[in-house]
Amino acid sequence: MVDVVWLDNGILRLGFVPALGGRLLSLVFEGHEVLWRNASLVDSDLQPIGHQPRPVSGTMGDWVNYGGDKTWPAPQDEWLGPPDPILDSGPYTASGDLVLTSAPDPRTGLRLSRQFTLLPGASSFHLRLTAMNISSRPVRWALWNVTQLPPGIVHVGLDGPVVELIGSVSCQDGVIPVQSTVGKLGFPGSTGWVTHFGTEVSLTQRFTVDHDAEYPDSGSPLEVWIESPQPEPISWLGGLDPPDHIVECEVLGPLTTLAPGERTVLDIDYEIGGCG
């Protein structure tokens, strides 16, 4: 058994598993699950199925993808995860109402924290991400929050370019339709919001874009990743074997050089509604 922390205000019910990389693994609105969760690995009570969670390293083919909402450091090609034995798959501690904090990671020099605020009677919540340099050297990273969702149409607030980062994903005027593909788009022209329309519910994320800052991946404060099951593991993605049709809405902060003891923060507001 792993410890599960629930927040419930009568409209939203959020379920967190600190032992699984500090993930938000359930977000329920009007009886509907908003997030994608790997039903072969975690049950409806957010307990692992058929295995004991442990820190994992290796290639993408070794990654244990539980789903949900999690935070990583970017750029990915410098972090080299997931998997990652501390920031992705290591246990986080839970404190207050509710802060999830990673162990210190000597390789990146970071400790990550995720602070959730759920207000009474609201169909929204706030997430504040913090990356602190716990090393004795300067480090340069961006915060990168990844929200995994079921298939749906994605609308992006856009006032500028779109770039293909990996593979091929169709996008027209900031609208990404449902499609079976593997790939990622970056949005240097993001205006600071993205909405995913699922079958029953919508999820909007709002964030601040600093137009004077440098962002990873061709200057992208927002990225959208789509994956779908393939005939065999994808060799050019480290053996990644997509378990399902998944959409990722990924919000990034600016690349920031942190002296020892300094921190960078990224704030995201989540709004949940119906699709009718």
Instruction: Give 10-residue mean pLDDT values along the chain (276 residues).
Output: 96 98 97 97 97 95 97 96 97 94 98 96 97 98 98 97 96 97 98 96 98 97 98 96 97 98 98 87
Question: Each residue of 97-153: pLDDT tens digit?
Answer: 899 999 999 999 999 999 999 999 999 999 999 999 999 999 999 999 999 999 999
What's the rounded Cα separation, in Å, for the pair 44 and 99?
A: 23
What pLDDT, on the 0 to 100 scale, is given for residue 276?
Answer: 64
Q: Quick: pLDDT tens for 179-191.
A: 999 999 999 999 9
Rounded to 5 degrees, what are φ and ψ at 61?
-65, -20
Determine the Cα–Cα distance for residues 102 and 114; give it in Å rounded to an integer.
Answer: 9
Contact 151, 35 (CB under 8 A): no
Work out the burial of residue 236: count CB atoms within 10 Å of its CB; fewer than 13 is exposed, 13-18 middle, 19 or more buried: exposed
Q: What percent of the residues of the chain are helix, what percent strand, and what percent coil, each to the nearest 5? A: 5, 45, 50
Residue that is written with structure tokens 């090393």 in the block: 135
Nearest one of 192, 139, 169 to 248, comparing CA atoms: 169
Where does residue 76 rank: exposed (0-12), middle (13-18), buried (19+ CB within 10 A)? middle
Q: Supply the pLDDT for residue 97.
A: 81
CA atoms within 13 A on the CB side of 264: 22
CB 101 within 8 A of CB 71: no
All domains of the chain in start order, with CATH: 5-274 (2.70.98.10)
Spatial contact of 266 and 143, defined as CB atoms under 8 Å apart = yes
Output the pLDDT for position 140.
98
- Assess contact for 115 and 257: CB atoms under 8 A: no
Residues 6 or more apart in contact with residue 3 via CB below 8 angstroms: 17, 18, 19, 94
CA distance 9 to 7: 7
Residue 96 pLDDT: 85
What is the pLDDT at residue 275?
79
Amino acid residing at 253: G
